């Protein structure tokens, strides 16, 4: 089929991704785009061991991902595009082909304000998300499939808390 | 439950392992161990709601340093706590991680007080694996 979910999650591969989304969506591969993980064999092995044997994981830096995403979108299986931060996803959006983004987990760090139980954002990140939305990208937060997708406006206005 | 507190019988018990996982998994499992054995204070439950991967690692590392324990039990191989524990254990043989822990595993562990904690953890993992059974559809009881 294609990449059925474009997710930002700072925990990258973990239970919600491989089980929570992976099982109901019949996910067979994950394209994990992260410059630091792509440069570390040890990190790749760590995340690969977190995925079930029937799920392939491909590790790419942003530059390689921009070149190779069309190939993954043409894959006959269901896949997830996964980044650990907003800026990485923004760079992929700018390369084209992404119409919706799932905010799955952006957790507490100094300088961030809590917007949802699992979404904390600083001003630059909020600006980046607004910019993506202004380009027509549907930005919603949804940690697991059974939860209601929360639109960006509701996240940032605080009505969703 | 603190890392060094009285058991149900009032005896002072030192913590021997951390239990970490999703939601209230750890506190629930430790509570169950305590109800069954009175030895729940050997286990330090760790929950990680709303924490990023770095903070999960920091929290588990802090609990290990405070208590001196060298055993970590986690709930799911793909879970964030497991990932954090694997980072902590990278390059060391002085500690052990058991991912996919269940109640029989922990029951075996808390009764193996005479063993070194790492050896007890390895032993308990085998017990926990063997304790999973399937009943029904085909008759009889089968070990999973």
Q: Round the average pLDDT of chain A to a whole number and report it.
A: 95
**Cross-strand partners of A102:** A7, A140
Question: Could you tell me which residues come within 8 angstroms of residue A89 by beta carbon, excluding any fewer than 6 positions away?
Answer: A6, A8, A83, A98, A101, A132
pLDDT at B139: 62
pLDDT at A1: 56
Residue A5: CB atoms within 10 A of its CB come to 21
Report, as an integer, the average pLDDT of B90-109.
94
Helix, strand and coil percent figures for chain A, each rounded to 5: 35, 30, 35
What distance, in Å, lies between the first and last C-alpha atoms of chain B?
Answer: 33
Band of residue B2 on the pLDDT scale cut at 50, 70, 90: very low
Q: How many CB pairs under 8 A join A and B?
A: 52
Report, as an integer, the average pLDDT of A128-151.
96
pLDDT at B130: 96
Q: Greater confidence, B35 or B141?
A: B35
- The residue ranges of every structural domain in chain A are 3-157
Q: Is A18 in Cβ contact with B86 (below 8 Å)?
A: no
pLDDT at B1: 46
Q: Does residue A15 surpass a pLDDT of 60? A: yes
Band of residue A70 on the pLDDT scale cut at 50, 70, 90: very high
Report, as an integer, the average pLDDT of B54-71.
95
Check: CB of residue A13 under 8 Å from CB of residue A50: yes
* Topology (CATH) of A3-157: Fructose Permease (3.40.35)
Q: Is A148 on the interface with B (CB under 8 A)?
A: no
Check: CB of residue A6 under 8 Å from CB of residue A81: yes
pLDDT at B8: 47
Q: Greater confidence, B50 or A67?
A: A67
Q: Is B86 in Cβ contact with A15 (below 8 Å)?
A: no
Band of residue B93 on the pLDDT scale cut at 50, 70, 90: confident
pLDDT at B4: 46
Q: Greater confidence, A160 or B125?
A: B125
Report, as an integer, the average pLDDT of A100-110.
95
Q: Does residue A141 surpass a pLDDT of 70? A: yes
Band of residue B3 on the pLDDT scale cut at 50, 70, 90: very low
- Whether the model clears a pTM of 0.80, i.e. scores above it, the answer is yes
Residue among B69, B89, B93, B92 nearest B81 (CA): B89
Report, as an integer, the average pLDDT of A47-69.
96
- List CB contacts (< 8 A) between B23 and chain A: none
Residue among B123, B90, B106 nearest B45 (CA): B106
Smallest CA–CA distance, residue A115 to chain B, in Å, is 11
Domain with residues B4-143, CATH architecture = 3-Layer(aba) Sandwich (3.40)
Cα nearest neighbour of A109 on chain B: B52
């Amino acid at each position: 089929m294609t990449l059925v979910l474009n997710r930002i999650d700072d925990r990258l591969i973990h239970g919600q991704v491989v089980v929570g989304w992976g099982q109901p969506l019949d996910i067979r591969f994950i394209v994990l785009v992260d410059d630091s993980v792509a440069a570390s064999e040890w990190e790749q092995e760590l995340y690969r061991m977190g995925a079930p044997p029937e799920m392939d994981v491909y590790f790419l830096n942003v530059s390689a991902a921009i070149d190779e995403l069309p190939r993954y979108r043409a894959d006959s299986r269901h896949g997830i595009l996964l980044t650990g931060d907003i800026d990485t996803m923004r760079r992929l959006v700018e390369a084209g082909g992404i119409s919706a983004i799932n905010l799955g987990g952006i957790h507490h760090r100094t300088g961030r304000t809590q917007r949802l139980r699992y979404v904390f954002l600083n001003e630059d990140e909020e600006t980046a998300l607004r910019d993506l939305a202004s380009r027509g990208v549907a930005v919603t937060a949804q940690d697991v499939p059974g939860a209601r997708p929360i639109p960006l406006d509701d996240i940032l206005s605080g009505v969703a808390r | 439950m603190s890392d060094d507190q009285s058991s149900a019988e009032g005896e002072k018990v030192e913590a021997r392992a951390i239990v970490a996982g999703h939601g209230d998994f750890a506190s629930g499992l430790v509570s169950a161990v305590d109800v069954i054995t009175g030895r729940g204070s050997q286990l330090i439950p760790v929950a990680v709601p709303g924490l990023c991967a770095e903070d999960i690692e920091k929290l588990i590392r802090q609990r290990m340093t405070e208590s001196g324990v060298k055993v970590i039990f986690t709930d799911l191989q793909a879970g964030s706590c497991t990932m954090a524990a694997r980072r902590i254990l990278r390059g060391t043989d002085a500690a052990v991680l058991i991912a996919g822990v269940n109640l029989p595993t922990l029951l075996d562990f808390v009764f193996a007080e005479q063993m070194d904690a790492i050896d007890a953890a390895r032993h308990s993992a085998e017990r926990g694996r063997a304790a999973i059974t399937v009943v029904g559809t085909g008759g009889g009881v089968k070990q999973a």
